[in-house]
Amino acid sequence: MSAILEAWNIAYRAGGRMLIEGIDLSVERGTVTIIVGPNGAGKSTLLRVLCGELAPATGEVLLNGAPLHRIPAWRLAHTRAVMPQASELGFPFSAFEVAHLGVEGIGRGLSRGDRQRIAASALDQADVAHLARRNYQTLSGGERQRVHFARVLAQLEAGRTVETRQVLFLDEPIASLDLRHQLALLNKAKCLAREGLTIIAVLHDLQLAADIADSLVLVQAGRLVARGNAGTVLSPGRLLDVFGVSLIPPSLPPSPWTLASSN
Amino acid sequence: MTDRAIGTQHLAMARDRKPLMMAVLTLLVILASGLALGSGATGVPPSRVLTILAGQSSAPAGDALIVLQVRLPRLLLGLLVGAALACSGALMQGLFRNPLADPGLVGVSAGAALAAAITIVAGDALLAPWIGPLPFSALPIGAFIGGLITTWGLYLVATRQGRTSIAVMLLAGVAFGAMSGAIIGFLAYLSDDRQLRDLSFWSLGSLSGATWTKVAAATPLILPVLLLTPFLARGLNALALGEAEAFHLGVPVQRVKAVAIMLVAVAVGASVACAGMIGFVGIVVPHVLRLTAGPDHRMLLPGSALLGAALLVSADTVARTVAAPAELPIGILTAAFGAPFFLWLLLRRQGGIAL
Amino acid sequence: MTLSRRALVAGSALMLVGRPARAASARRIVSIGGAVTEILYRLGQDAEIVGVDSTSLYPAEALRTKADVGYIRALGAEGVLSLNPSLLLAAEGAGPPDALRLIEQAGVTVVRVPGEPSPAGIVERVRVIAQILDIPERGAALIREIEQGFAQLAEAKARITRPSRALFVLSLQNGRPLVGGQGTTADAMLALAGASNAAASLSGWKPLSDEGLIAAAPDAIVMMEHGPDGAAKDPFTLPAFAATPAAETRRLVVMDSLYLLGFGPRTPAAARDLMAALHPDQAGKAKQP
């Protein structure tokens, strides 16, 4: 019905090797899609092709019905935000300035005060308002990741003045976070999805992925091997096939933890 | 204090810092300029400097000439070159995401030096029939063109499928620097005594040959660059996160890179052509500003231009007065002014500093 | 920018008007270049000199009593103009050209003195300076004296039957000799002194390799008294120098650089001294003029 992002037959080649190949994918608006798979399966590459950072060797990605490579960079920045795995900063920007980078040049009809309010509120939502004035370079890995989460939230908030059908891409967004912040970030993402934002993320933690995803995408050796809800994708046979681990079904309940605040 | 309160307080800070900083820097430029016009080997009283500048030249012809033909063009050239070098330094550091980058990294200085060496050594024989009849010296023109060609060449080497690799450009620049050093060495071997002295003198850098002609030639090259750089500020800020992140934020990364490299090549090429090699300004000025006012390029780029202009003009004022009537090489003074201040800033900021 | 435009207009208007010419009696000379200053002193014009460049090392009182306007190639327009000169005598290489142009625009007569390193060149320098100072008799007298000196030199040179094979070493940085080949002032001086240049196969000032040095087989080494690594070291401690014929007789001539290479009024005497030092058994002692 309302597919916001469609990809058909995409492949990406680097250094003479196919990193991903023959992938078809359709993502519904307002859903959370999680890409899972073993190391080196091509999860991040797939995400980078879907968000427009890498141009596919074959096939095409459509965002809101338009070919991705035809959408100019500024327009794309209003439609989707990307949170990277890890980011080193060349200069001693404060956390507030980093969050503010998300709103610079994004959005229409926003005053300077509006933009600063958006950045401050995003820091608040990512639970890093108390770090606003700290030098980003002196923050811990987890704190940095939350600052970047604030930055993409700010970007989407500002971009909403131009485009409301938005996508948020997250590449291992919780890798350096403690458990409380892992849950808080995923919870926030899920809330945003309820409000109509589309989330596409790469996650390593299968249990968290199974819990939060509306739809799981399992990739192996550059190919999409399964797509659907956690129960169908993460069957014991497939886990043995893809990850090489043998799990007894009860150890992976459909919803291992109930997030207290998710409802 | 609640989180929200801190956030709001930060907003106020971010809003207020820029105008104040700009006002302070502008004041510095005005002070340095006043001092430069008012002092020199010849004692022209400041009041007379003012009447001469106002055009009511009741003053003796000699003083008016000193102020209007010697000090004023030298001041203007100093402002232009200082602003160009410091602003280019800030641009390069933003582009390379490295606070140690210097305007010479895109090859413009090496190219200009090589072209200057060729002009000096081969010029007499090869270029004279072509350029000889022209009413200006071939050296600055050769240096300017050489700088531009080199930067363009390095840009082509580093660009594949419409994407410029900054790392490749840096490495190609290092390779070209070594090559041009070798060629200059060979040219120095071939050159006679006079050419050798011309070469070493040119590379020293000085504002002592400032004339209205040079000001007229440098202004249309450097001033547009200074006026255009603020438009790159947002792009450079986003580039601090990395090229992919800047693209995600809607920055036309390739265009920012190409424009920044072009602006630096033009500004530094013109500076080197007019005043030779003047080191240190391009590195230390953006640093000092970053340490005092933060890394935001919207402040850093125009601020560097102002502080660079003030620093170079002050250094030149000392260069031409301290040993008067003789002059000191200006490179000694930019380093002597800048380095201790820079060190002091570094020491004051010990702990928690990550450049 | 309006300011600078007005300044431009005012400046050009000023250039048209020019400066009132000064009376010859109140001449104020800035002398640029060691040989030029030396000639001015020999012509007895030292009272009129107000400034000299930093290469004007002889006579020593020049830099002691006159204002120092800096290195010959790094002059500042305002520095020179602050001395309120009426005449600037510039040896070849004085600059930068734009500074000289500014000084000229300020109404100072700028005379470029030719710099060819030969007896004729020295005579020409004296002639040009005497003419611009309007003292033809003194100029003619000095020229006569210089020509006499060269004539005596030529006589002495004719008595030399076995010309010494000399190597001129300008500097000895890191044990690497920088030697004077063809076309250098050193080559010209060796010729005047009746010696042959051991580095005649090179042209210009060139670094010489150890093997090249041994192959050059100099009978004598000439070095400068001043300079970074001038005569501070004994060259014969270096293996390559020790392998030359010069080392056997330990023939090392050390002279003052301006005296030897300045090509001024003292050049005939300098050449006689060099000749005597290089050919101790052949040339008679120079008659002092």
Q: B200-231, pLDDT tens digit by residue? A: 777 777 888 788 888 999 999 999 999 999 99
Computed over every residue of chain C, the mean pLDDT equals 85
Chains contacting C (3+ CB pairs below 8 angstroms): B
Domain C161-278 has CATH 3.40.50.1980: yes
pLDDT-based confidence at residue B124 (cuts at 50, 70, 90): low
A69/B contact by beta carbon, under 8 A: no
pLDDT at res. B276? 84
pLDDT at res. B102? 81
Computed over every residue of chain B, the mean pLDDT equals 83
* Cis-peptide, bond into residue B133, ω within 30° of zero: no
Average pLDDT on B155-178 reads: 87
Contact between B240 and A106 using a beta-carbon 8 Å cutoff: no
pLDDT at res. B198? 73
Domain A1-64+167-173+202-263 has CATH 3.40.50.2020: no
The three-state secondary structure class of A182 is helix
Q: C201-255, pLDDT tens digit by residue? A: 988 888 888 888 999 999 999 998 865 444 456 888 888 899 999 999 889 999 9
Between the ranges A245-249, B60-64, B181-185, B245-249, where is the mean pLDDT highest? B245-249
Q: Is the pLDDT of residue A71 over 50?
A: yes
Query: Is there contact between A and C if contact means ≥3 C-beta pairs under 8 Å?
Result: no
pLDDT-based confidence at residue C126 (cuts at 50, 70, 90): very high
Residues in chain B closer than 8 A to A82 (CB atoms): 244-245, 248
Could you tell me the residue ranges of all domains in chain C?
A: 22-148, 161-278
pLDDT at res. C232? 53
Chain position carrying tokens 């794309």: A76
CB A37 within 8 A of CB A220: yes
Within 10 A of A108 (CB to CB), how many other CB atoms are there? 10
pLDDT-based confidence at residue A188 (cuts at 50, 70, 90): very high
Residues 79-98 of C with CB under 8 A from B: 79-84, 92-93, 95-98
Q: A190-210, pLDDT tens digit by residue? A: 999 999 999 999 998 888 999
Q: B42-85, pLDDT tens digit by residue? A: 878 778 888 888 776 655 567 788 888 889 999 999 999 999 99
The CA distance from C41 to C35, in Å, is 10
Could you tell me the residue ranges of all domains in chain A?
A: 1-64+167-173+202-263
Q: A21-39, pLDDT tens digit by residue? A: 999 999 999 999 999 999 9
B163/A contact by beta carbon, under 8 A: no
pLDDT-based confidence at residue B142 (cuts at 50, 70, 90): confident
CB B217 within 8 A of CB B75: no
Contact between A101 and B10 using a beta-carbon 8 Å cutoff: no
What is the CATH topology of the domain spanning C22-148?
Rossmann fold (3.40.50)
pLDDT at res. C106? 86
Q: Which of A4, A42, A38, A48 is nearest to A20 (CA)?
A: A42
CB A245 within 8 A of CB A239: yes
Q: Is the pLDDT of residue A61 over 60?
A: yes
pLDDT at res. C245? 93
Considering only residues C16 and C138, tell me which one the structure prediction assigns the higher pLDDT. C138
The CA distance from A6 to A60, in Å, is 8
Average pLDDT on B181-209 reads: 79
pLDDT-based confidence at residue C10 (cuts at 50, 70, 90): very low
pLDDT at res. A44? 93
Which residue, among B208, B226, B322, B330, would best test binding to C if mutated, counting the most C CBs under 10 Å from its CB? B208
Computed over every residue of chain A, the mean pLDDT equals 90
CA-to-CA dists, residue C206 to A239, C182, C199, angstroms: 77, 10, 9
Which CATH architecture group holds B16-348? Answer: Orthogonal Bundle (1.10)
pLDDT at res. A67? 95
CB C168 within 8 A of CB C187: yes
Q: How far is C204 from chain B (nearest CA, A)?
A: 6
Tell me the backbone φ, ψ of residue C205, rounded to 5 degrees: -80, 120
With helix as H, strand as E and coil as C, how does chain C read? CHHHHHHHHHHHHHHHHCCCCCCHHHCCEEEECHHHHHHHHHCCCHHHEEEECCCCCCCCHHHHHCEECCCCCCCCHHHHHCCCCCEEEEECCCCCHHHHHHHHHCCCEEEEECCCCCHHHHHHHHHHHHHHCCCHHHHHHHHHHHHHHHHHHHHHHHCCCCCCEEEEEEEEECCEEEEECECCHHHHHHHHCCCEECCCCCECEEECCHHHHHHHCCCEEEEECCCCCCCCCCHHHCHHHHCCHHHHHCCEEEECHHHHHCCCCCHHHHHHHHHHHHCCCCCCCCCCC
Query: Is there contact between C and B if contact means ≥3 C-beta pairs under 8 Å?
Result: yes
